[in-house]
């Protein structure tokens, strides 16, 4: 028998399990090997579902973010060269652009680090806190633009101070 092992090593290897998961297949349990390990239902180990297709996400969302960020540069520069006649329109555009830009940035941080699947209570709480804060800041910027000096005049005062 020993001579047959040396003459035909493939038979000796075939009787031995090559990988640890092959031991489980030979046991009496019905264990099926899953590449990457077993998946436990109802935990953070469970794979995420794909969201439905939406035009406001993906490449359209990324393009909008880049255009908004690039558009803030000339808008802020225009605050230095405008006269008083176009300042209310520029104040409104600058205020809205800054709020949307900040909201998108903070929302990206929440999606990446405080995902609702990993933090089922804190994730939605932080998301709604961000939404309410963005609305409150929008109201504050509107009040500042209509009842006070406005963003362009504020930038001029800060720059010359």
Q: Give the C-alpha separation, 95 to 139, whole Å.
A: 10
Residue 25 domain flag? no
Domain assignment present for 74: yes
In this prediction, residue 56 carries a pLDDT of: 65
Tokens of 36: 């990457």
Beta carbons of 57 and 136 less than 8 angstroms apart:
no
pLDDT at position 150 is 85
76 belongs to a structural domain: yes
Give a yes or no: residue 14 inside a domain.
no
Helices (H), the chain: 2-7, 9-15, 20-26, 59-81, 87-113, 122-147, 151-160
Alpha carbons 18 and 13: distance in angstroms, whole number: 8
- Measured CA to CA in angstroms, residue 134 lies from 69, 99, 137 at distances of 17, 7, 5
Any domain includes 152: yes
Predicted pLDDT of residue 98: 94
Cα angle 58, 62, 65 (rounded to 5 degrees) comes to 145
Distance of CA 30 to the CA centre of its chain: 39
Does residue 21 fall inside a structural domain? no
pLDDT at 52: 77
Q: Is residue 134 in a domain?
A: yes
What CATH number has the domain bearing residue 124? Answer: 1.20.1300.10
All residue ranges of the chain with pLDDT < 70 are: 1-48, 55-57, 83-86
Instruction: Let me know if residue 33 belongs to a domain.
Output: no
Q: Structural domain tally of the chain? A: 1
Supply the pLDDT for residue 12.
47
Note the pTM of the prediction, 2 decimals. 0.63
Q: How far apart are CA 109 and CA 120, in angstroms?
A: 16
Structure confidence at residue 47 (pLDDT): 67
Give residue 69's pLDDT. Answer: 94
Residue range of the domain that includes 87: 59-160
Residues 8-50: tens digit of each pLDDT: 444 444 455 555 555 544 544 555 666 666 656 666 666 667 7
Residue 32, pLDDT score: 61
Distance CA 53, CA 12 (A): 53
């Amino acid at each position: 028998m020993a001579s047959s092992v040396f003459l035909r090593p493939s038979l000796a290897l075939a009787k031995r399990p090559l990988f640890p998961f092959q031991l489980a297949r030979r046991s009496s349990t019905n264990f099926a090997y899953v590449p990457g390990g077993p998946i436990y239902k109802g935990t953070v180990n469970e794979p995420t579902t794909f969201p439905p297709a939406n035009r406001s996400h993906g490449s359209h969302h990324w393009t909008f973010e880049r255009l908004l960020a690039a558009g803030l540069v000339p808008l802020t520069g225009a605050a230095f060269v405008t006269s008083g006649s176009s300042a209310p329109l520029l104040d409104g555009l600058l205020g809205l652009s800054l709020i949307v830009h900040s909201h998108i940035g903070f929302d990206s941080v929440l999606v990446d680090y405080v995902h609702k699947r990993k933090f089922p209570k804190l994730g939605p709480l932080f998301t709604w806190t961000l939404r309410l804060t963005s609305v409150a800041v929008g109201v504050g910027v509107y009040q500042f633009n209509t009842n006070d000096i406005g963003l362009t005049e504020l930038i001029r005062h800060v720059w010359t101070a």
